[in-house]
Amino acid sequence: MSQEQDGAQASVDESALQQAGDADVALETGAQVPPEQQEPNRWNEALRQIMGGSVVISILAVVLALIVGAILIAVTDPGVQQAAGYFFSRPSDTFEAIWNVVSGAYTSLFQGSIYNFGRPTFASGIRPFMDTLTYATPLIVAGLGVGLGFRTGMFNIGGQGQMLIAAAFCGWVGWSFDLPPVIHLVVAVAAGVVGGALWAGIAGVLKARTGAHEVIVTIMLNWIAFYLISYLLRTPGALQAHGSNNPKSPAILPNAILPQILGPQYQLHFGFIIAIAATIFVWWLLERSSLGFKFRAVGENPHAARVAGISVNSAIIWSMVIGGGLVGLAGVDQVLGTTTGGFGSAIDAGIGFDAITVALLGRSRPLGTFIAGVLFGAFKAGGFLMQAANSIPIDIVLVVQSLIVLFIAAPPLVRAIFRLPKPGPRPPRKQKPATPAPVAEEVAAR
């Protein structure tokens, strides 16, 4: 992969789609309709825009992914298989079995992630949604960090390593020092951010100074961090808890724990407020600051950015450092927020990799990443209940998540499945059949 190709990866889908005449980007930029082709009926036009627009595509992508998930659940269910054995004598049994297993699964998914109607009060009924937000917190900040890399053309697969180093840094501060209440928390969070930033900074510096490909370096740094932390966790005097033989760290001191913002009945901790602040910060950084402008310029076209006088190397390093700091926040959320009783070497819980999907689904934009993080948090929270109540493996959530990203990335496919109109002006009917069709139509028609 060359640098410029990397540079374009976060935006290639856009530029490709834009070239293909897609409306997702056109809607955002507001350049919908060339004046000479405007249709007289504005209501029809508005309806077409909504039906072909990105919101509808996103919703339909979720629906499609859930349908595929339902098919998988139904096909692998022993009850359905049994009923399908005598399908031709009593087909209703098969459909009933399918309905039972699928509706049971998705009811659990909903009740585990949004609202549980089985609980007596609103305060306890809404508890699953609070769990969703808790799960979403590290996903959001890590997704923001990975997305920031995407915007600069850097593909940061090193979320796992950055989270582990951040966990070690903030955990060490969290149990070694005895500081006053607020200061201890601030210092511990800052230590975690610095840890993640340092680890990602290695990849950034190597990329900028020697040209080492960041995909290789971040993958390798994941493993190095994993073994380093594993070693430190089993070494007395390093990260291991005193008087313990398990590879586990001591518990965090109370002053350094992220407070629960809605009282002790919900797990939701202050990290969620930090995640909201981080989202606003990244938005400001990318859209309103000159550093963010440099990031985006380098991401779009490093050669052009260099010609324009932007230091590509410093943009690469700073984007990795800031992105790594954000990913480090995810490690902080884990150590100071959810597992405060000490952590092992699996503290990253796959969030570093999930963050890539979150950033992709959010199209590397801050608000999009936030929403994608909440959605994936909901799948995670609901998936646990689904596994416990309906004994459906939580891995189905991975399938549904990845399908959502795939479908959202390919609007023409979703439109073709649901026979939606193409966005933009209505193609002229029966007037000029010889007119060469735009590429997207040609491709979609194939």
Partner 1 sequence: MTTTAEHTVPDATPIVLEKTVVRSRKTPITLSVVAVLSIVLFVIFRRGGDTTFTFAGGRVAPSLPQVVLPTTLTCVILTVVLVLMAAASWWILARRTKVPLWYSSVFAFLFVVAFLTWAAGANSRPLPITSLLLGAVSLSVPYIFGALGGVLSERSGVVNIAIEGQLLAGAFLAAMVASMTGSMWLGLVAALVAGVLVSFILAAFAIKYYVDQVIVGVVINVLVLGLTNFLYSQVLAKDPEFLNNPPLLPAIPIPGLSAIPVIGPVLFDQSIIVYLMYIAVVAVYVGLFHTRWGLRLRSVGEHPQAADTVGINVTGTRFWNVSLAGAIVGLGGAYFTLGSVGSFSEDMTGGQGYIALAAVIFGRWDPVRATLAALLFGFASNLQYTLAAVGSPVPSEFLLMLPYVVTILAVAGFVGYVRGPAASGKPYIKS
Residues at the contact surface with partner 1, assessed by CB under 8 A:
1-3, 5-6, 8-10, 12-13, 16-17, 19-20, 72, 76, 78, 155, 157, 206, 210-213, 215-217, 219-221, 223-224, 227-228, 230-231, 353, 356-357, 360, 392-393, 395-399, 401-403, 405-406, 409-410, 412-413, 439, 443, 446
Q: How far is the CB of 116 from partner 1 (least distance, A)?
A: 25
C-alpha dist (Å) from residue 172 to 133, 184, 228, 233, 251: 26, 12, 15, 11, 10
Q: Extract the tokens encoding 400.
A: 């549904």
Q: How far is the CB of 9 from partner 1 (least distance, A)?
A: 5
SS3 357: helix
Nearest to 267 by CA among 279, 276, 275, 258: 258
Tokens 């659990």, located at residue: 108
Q: How far is the CB of 370 from partner 1 (least distance, A)?
A: 19
Q: How far is the CB of 442 from partner 1 (least distance, A)?
A: 9
Q: Which residue, 207 or 294, is less far from partner 1 as judged by CB?
A: 207
Q: Which residue, 287 or 442, is less far from partner 1 as judged by CB?
A: 442
What b/e readout covers 76-106, taking b as 16+ CB neighbours within 10 angstroms?
Answer: ebeebeebbeeeeeeeebbeebbeebbebbb
430 φ/ψ sector (left φ>0, alpha ψ -120 to 50, else beta): left
Q: Extract the tokens encoding 363.
A: 């199209």
Give CA–CA dist 58/139, Å, rounded: 19
Q: How far is the CB of 150 from partner 1 (least distance, A)?
A: 9
Q: Which residue, 84 or 261, is less far from partner 1 as judged by CB?
A: 84
Q: Which residue, 55 or 238, is less far from partner 1 as judged by CB?
A: 238
Chain centroid to Cα 249, Å, comes to: 28
C-beta separation of 192 from 164 below 8 A: no
Q: Which residue, 40 or 78, is less far from partner 1 as judged by CB?
A: 78
Q: Which residue, 337 or 382, is less far from partner 1 as judged by CB?
A: 382
Q: How far is the CB of 401 from partner 1 (least distance, A)?
A: 7
C-beta separation of 298 from 310 below 8 A: yes
Tokens 């073709």, located at residue: 416
Residues contacting 13, CB < 8 A, separation 6+? 363, 409
Phi/psi of residue 269, nearest 5 degrees: -115, 175
Q: Which residue, 138 or 159, is less far from partner 1 as judged by CB?
A: 159
Q: How far is the CB of 135 from partner 1 (least distance, A)?
A: 17
Q: Which residue, 113 or 340, is less far from partner 1 as judged by CB?
A: 113
Q: How far is the CB of 2 from partner 1 (least distance, A)?
A: 5
Nearest to 219 by CA among 202, 231, 233, 234: 202
Q: How far is the CB of 394 from partner 1 (least distance, A)?
A: 9
- Quick one: CA dihedral 97, 102, 108, 110, positive or negative? negative
Q: How far is the CB of 410 from partner 1 (least distance, A)?
A: 4
Q: Which residue, 78 or 118, is less far from partner 1 as judged by CB?
A: 78
Q: Which residue, 236 or 259, is less far from partner 1 as judged by CB?
A: 236
Nearest to 80 by CA among 107, 104, 108: 104
